[in-house]
Structures are given as C-alpha cells and as structure tokens.
Amino acid sequence: MAIPASILEIWSNQGAIKTPKSLREKIENKLTNSQSKIQYKNTLDIYLQGSYRNSTNIYGNSDVDIVVQSDSTFFSDISELDAYETAIYKRAFSEATYTWKDFKKEVIETLEESFGEKNVEVGNKSIKIDDGSYEADVVPCFEYRKYISFGENDDEREYIPGIKFYTTNENRTVINYPKEHYSKGSSKNQRASMKYKPTIRIFKNMKKKLIEKGMINKEQAPSYFVENLLYNVPDKYFDDTSITSRVYQVIKWLQENRYSLSQFICQNEQVYLFGYSQEQWKEVDAREFINQLIALWNEW
C-alpha cells in the first residue's frame, strides 16, 4: 500500500529555521569585526547555502553550510566570449595580488581565534565549526564569474555568478553556483504553487527512511543530489492538491525516465547532475535510489 497521506504531510514540513540564521550571523560577526584577521573584510558576502538556504531542510538536520565569499577579487571563465570581447576583458582587468591561499589562511586563523582551535577542523572542502549544538561547514571562496558577454561599459557585461575554491588535500578546483541554485529553485517552487520544496522535503525523509531500513546506504543518495534530481521533474507533476497523488506521480515519472539520467541537470542549470567528477552523481546509484523509493512506497 502507499505511504499514508498523514505521514507525507509530516515529512513535508520544514526543519529548524532560527538556529541556522543565528549561527550564520555569529560567524559573520567574528569574520567582519575589528579583531578579524581578514584583510578585506568589507568585501565579504556571507550567506547560507544548501538545504537551510533553500528551505528544503528536514527535522534532524544539524550541519549548516555557510559560504564566506570574498569579492575583493574574482576568478572568471571567458571561454564564451569572442575575440573582440576577450580583448576588452583583458584591458579591463589585471592579475590580482590577493591570493586564494592568503584569504583561506586568514579565515582559518580568525575562526580558530574566535571559536578555539579544538572546535575548528579544516576539512577537504570546508572548515567545520562545532558550537556545541550545531555544526557549521564554512566554505571560504572567491567570487566566480562565467561571462556571457563583455563590453566597454558595465551595462554591456553579463555573467553568471558562482563561487570557486580549491580543496585542501588535492588542491583541486571546485566551482559551484549556490545563488543560481537558490533562484532557480525559488522560481520552480512558485510555478508549482509552492509545492516543489515541500515535495523535496518528503523525498529527503523517504531517503532517510531507506537508510534506516538498510535499503540504501548514505553515500548512494546525498541530499543535494536528491534535490537536484527532483528539479528535472516537470513542474506539472508537483502542482497536485493531493499529496499522495503528487508523490506517486513524481516517483512514477522518475521510474519512467531512469534511463535518461545523462540529460539531467543540476538546479543551477550550469552543470550536468550525472558524470564522472567528484561533484556529480553516479547513474547506477540514482537508479538504485529510484528503485528503492518504489519498493518503500509499495511495501509500506
């Protein structure tokens, strides 16, 4: 039988809201006050990303993802510009003297001084801070601009905003588009009568239940990938007043399209969801996730 509507309604509810916001504000204060070791603290753009930013967090979530973006300089991609635009770009900008390594070092030193070295752990992609009740994954990064056009004046220059940083262990480049992810998700939610994000929360809770039952393991279906998976489901399948029918239709669509995953995109619409990089999902894991969603639904 299907999962009861009463359970789906509970699963659709959003988790904590106030604590992530206050934790972000606390970290922002430490990084921007007069004791901060960051040279260009007035250029920082500090904001939530991930499920808390996108209102897709469920009960039991603890890690708060916080972007610490320096806009004092930026990385860029000008591969889409023609020769004329590229020449203008190169005249407009010179090489920056403030380096990524300088910035990351300053962020780490400030956080260690503010929260205590024992409460700050430098990971491969983020800096984890434990404040006793919540853990924050702080991502230091530079602004990243994917240019679409570049003219002589600012109003003739267009780019897609993103972030870029390097991993600690491999010094590997990571590029992401958290602001695009947020804006595209908000637009889809509005088109789907505000039912897209509650549906994502349901599927995240279904994933949680699958892990509890041993039907999948945690690594097979990270929550970020689940959210991006559902972005590819057409809007009309979310716009159903019956919560049971809505979830069933979304699962059915995923099942019918499980062999077309190579065409699926991330919610930021800049990157394919599936591929071979460490920031992409494996198709075999996604298909297993979909199969187990069906089993969970049918065997409830």
Residues 141 and 200 in one domain: no
Residues 144 and 43 in one domain: yes
- Last residue of some domain: 152, 176, 200? 176
Q: Is residue 9 included in any domain, yes or no?
A: no
Task: Say how many residues make up the chain.
Answer: 300
Q: Is residue 13 included in any domain, yes or no?
A: no
Residues 22 and 171 in one domain: yes
Residues 80 and 202 in one domain: no
Q: For residue 62, give its domain range.
A: 18-176
How do the pLDDT tens digits run along the chain, 300 residues long?
799 999 999 999 998 777 778 888 989 999 999 999 999 999 999 999 989 899 999 987 667 899 999 999 999 999 999 999 999 999 999 888 899 999 999 999 999 999 999 999 999 999 999 877 678 999 999 999 999 999 999 889 999 999 999 999 999 999 999 999 999 999 999 999 999 999 999 999 999 999 999 999 999 999 999 999 999 999 999 988 899 999 999 999 999 999 999 999 999 999 999 999 999 999 999 999 999 999 999 999
- Last residue of some domain: 131, 157, 176? 176
Q: Is residue 229 included in any domain, yes or no?
A: yes
Q: Is residue 128 included in any domain, yes or no?
A: yes
Residues 45 and 155 in one domain: yes
Number of Cβ within 10 Å of residue 100's Cβ equals 17
Count the domains in the chain: 2
3-state helix, strand, coil in the chain (%, to 5): 45, 20, 35
Residues 209 and 137 in one domain: no
Task: Give residue 4's Cα distance to chain centre.
Answer: 30
Q: Is residue 7 included in any domain, yes or no?
A: no
Residues 161 and 72 in one domain: yes
- What CATH number corresponds to the domain at position 53? 3.30.460
Residues 146 and 189 in one domain: no
What b/e sequence results for 226-256 when a residue is b if at least 16 CB atoms lie within 10 Å of its CB, and e otherwise?
Answer: bbbbbbbbeeebbebeebeebbbbbbebbee
Q: Is residue 11 included in any domain, yes or no?
A: no
Residues 172 and 23 in one domain: yes
Instruction: Report the predicted TM-score, pTM, of the whole model to 2 decimal places.
Output: 0.93
Residues 53 and 156 in one domain: yes
Return the pLDDT at 131.
73
Q: Is residue 12 included in any domain, yes or no?
A: no
- Last residue of some domain: 148, 176, 204? 176
Return the pLDDT at 62.
64
Q: Is residue 1 included in any domain, yes or no?
A: no
